[in-house]
Structure 1
Amino acid sequence: MNELLWIGFALMDLTLVLIIYRFFGRIGLFGLVVFNLILCNIQVLKTVELFGFTATLGNVLYASVFLSTDILSEKYGRKAAQKAVLLGFVTLVMTAVYMQIALRFVPAPGDFAQPSLETLFGFLPRVALGSLCAYLVSQFHDVWAFHFIKERTSGRHLWLRNNASTLVSQFLDSAIFCLIAFWGQFETSVFLEILGTTYVFKLFVAIADTPFIYLARRITPLDERPGAEDAA
């Protein structure tokens, strides 16, 4: 039941973005960007069958990164969103470097983890490179487009800037990432299928997050309520 599991996973992840934001505010969103970015670059190595197509995991978590940065853009401005993008970039670089160092350690005779770590993180540099390039281009475009549309519509039509900025950004992300990470790793037909389905599934989650960003706009995090600093 991959399809039901995928839909449930998407709804759970988007809901948790709001819960984390409610309790931890913008710091929580920064943490989510880092967490989801690292985890989705591990999950993306797994291919699954969804709705009759071959797709990679990770598209749900990556789509929620866009929701997090859109909330930051909407409520805290361009600089806050760009800071989250750069934080995600730095942590992904650190993850790739640290895991390559970990793989260089000679394992003990009774170690059982090395082969599994090599399978996952031996491929990570190429995935990380693709993700870094795609992430920077798509996220900075998303932040720019979000504020461009917001200025042109005088702050109205949140649904428009949320979806329009994300739809183009997700296409840039999918195209750049798949070309760098997967070109030559699969047959051409499978590669094109992965590229197409990756974008379509990210697109679905991006559209599904529209009510969530409206809910986020109505949320006042606990640490931003009047008297929160005095209570702390």
Structure 2
Amino acid sequence: MSEVSPGQLHERRERVFLVLAGTFLCAMTLLNIIGITRFVQLGPMALAVGVLPYPLTFLCTDLICELYGRKRANFLVTVGLGLNFMILGVLLLGNALPSVPAESMPPWQILQLAAPVHLPNGETVEQTVGLYQLIYATTSGAVFASMLAYIAAQYCDVQLFHFWKRVTKGKYLWVRNNFSTLMSQMVDSVMVITVTFGAAFMRDELTFKMMMVLVASNYIFKATVALLDTGPFYLGVHYLRRYLKLEPGETATHD
């Protein structure tokens, strides 16, 4: 292997961390922005489109845990939490500021309704609804729900990853990768669905069976992706350790 200077090695390690962190934050932000704006059918599973990229967040945190240690992983999760607050703050600000007069709005900003619609945030609109009002109603509650689920699931994933690493004495990558992700994604799936659709359930617009179908669909999808990413996780650790000049068990930062 070619020799690299300490400065080049430091830059190489920071660039890899930046790519992993950027992928993590992008997937998390997509969950909040497109959230429950549409549901898609994947076989027997009904999934919100925002869930599709979300399993990548667990792969990224596991790679960062393995290559950079717990402190870097917790730092990234904390940055993601801050971005959640920023997204929610912008949504609240946009909803609170006065709108331009209706006659000045472009026609595509006003949607005509054929029947009354109960929005996810509890509002009921009967004739027209603004495009932003609809986006706000479908994303603000989902962002709040994802924040609660995010805090519980991501920190849980980091802690469980290192727990299994201690138990296995640094062996069996697949154990800490899968067991930490499968457990934390169960927490995430239950929390995000119950908080997002709790109001609709209380208004009898969503049955308990439908809630359980959504929870099960979310978890089955995430668990399936988690099991499938075992191969990419092994390949990532194998090649990135060589690229980052890390010995087995060594991390690029010191906890």
Both proteins in one fold, TM over 0.5: yes
Deviation at 1:48, TM superposition (A): 1.8
Larger radius of gyration: 2
Deviation at 1:120, TM superposition (A): 1.9
Does structure 2 retain, via aligned residues, the 8 Å contact 1:54–1:190? Answer: no
- CA separation in 1, counterparts of 2:225 and 2:98? 39
Does structure 1 retain, via aligned residues, the 8 Å contact 2:88–2:143? Answer: yes
Q: Residue 58 of structure 1: SS of its match in structure 2?
A: helix
Equivalent in 130, 137, 156 of residue 122 of structure 1? 137
Note the 1:14-29 alignment, pairs <5 A. Answer: 24-29=15-20
- CA separation in 1, counterparts of 2:34 and 2:230? 24
- Structure 1 runs of 4+ aligned residues shifted over 6 Å read none
Partner of 1:138: 153
Equivalent in 23, 34, 40 of residue 25 of structure 2? 34
Q: Which of the two has greater helix per residue?
A: 1
- Provide closer, same or farther for how the CA distance between residues 144 and 164 of structure 1 changes in structure 2, counting only shifts above 3 A: same
Note the 1:32-71 alignment, pairs <5 A. Answer: 32-45=23-36, 46-71=38-63
Percent identity (aligned): 28
- CA separation in 1, counterparts of 2:232 and 2:149? 24
Deviation at 1:23, TM superposition (A): 10
Q: Deviations over 1:161-206 (max 9, x none)?
A: 0000000100000111111111242521222211110111111111
Partner of 2:113: none
- CA separation in 2, counterparts of 1:26 and 1:107? 43
Equivalent in 159, 169, 187 of residue 206 of structure 2? 187
Deviation at 1:116, TM superposition (A): 2.5
- CA separation in 2, counterparts of 1:107 and 1:74? 51
Structure 1 position 106 matched with structure 2 position 99: yes
Deviation at 1:113, TM superposition (A): 4.2
- Provide closer, same or farther for how the CA distance between residues 74 and 118 of structure 1 changes in structure 2, counting only shifts above 3 A: same
Does structure 2 retain, via aligned residues, the 8 Å contact 1:22–1:219? Answer: no
Does structure 2 retain, via aligned residues, the 8 Å contact 1:139–1:169? Answer: yes
Partner of 2:174: 159
Under a length normalisation based on structure 2, what TM-score does the superposition of the two structures give? Answer: 0.73
Under a length normalisation based on structure 1, what TM-score does the superposition of the two structures give? Answer: 0.80
Does structure 1 retain, via aligned residues, the 8 Å contact 2:88–2:144? Answer: no
Structure 1 position 90 matched with structure 2 position 94: no
Q: Deviations over 1:90-123 (max 9, x none)?
A: 0011011112212324136133447333222233
- CA separation in 2, counterparts of 1:38 and 1:191? 24
Q: Residue 54 of structure 1: SS of its match in structure 2?
A: strand
Equivalent in 220, 238, 246 of residue 218 of structure 1? 238
**RMSD across aligned C-alpha pairs, in angstroms?**
2.6
- Provide closer, same or farther for how the CA distance between residues 220 and 50 of structure 1 changes in structure 2, counting only shifts above 3 A: closer
Does structure 2 retain, via aligned residues, the 8 Å contact 1:55–1:193? Answer: no
Aligned residues: 206
Deviation at 1:224, TM superposition (A): 5.0
- Provide closer, same or farther for how the CA distance between residues 224 and 153 of structure 1 changes in structure 2, counting only shifts above 3 A: closer
Deviation at 1:36, TM superposition (A): 1.0
